[in-house]
Amino acid sequence: MKFLELKVPPVVVGGICFALMWALAISIPGYPLPQSVALLGLILCVMSGSALGIAGLLEFRRAQTTFHPHHPEDARQLVTSGVYQYTRNPMYMGLLLMLLGWAIFLSSMASFTGLIVFVAYMNQFQITPEERALKAKFGSDYDDYARRVRRWV
Neighbouring C-beta atoms of residue 70, cutoff 10 Å: 16
What is residue 4's three-state secondary structure?
Answer: helix
pTM for this prediction? 0.95
Residue 25: which H helix or E strand, with range?
Answer: helix 10-27
Q: Are 95 and 53 in contact (CB under 8 A)?
A: yes
Report which DSSP code applies to 126: I
In the chain, which stretches have pLDDT less than 70?
none
Q: Are 108 and 25 in contact (CB under 8 A)?
A: yes
User: What is the per-residue pLDDT for 9?
Assistant: 95
Neighbouring C-beta atoms of residue 121, cutoff 10 Å: 18
User: What is the per-residue pLDDT for 153?
Assistant: 79
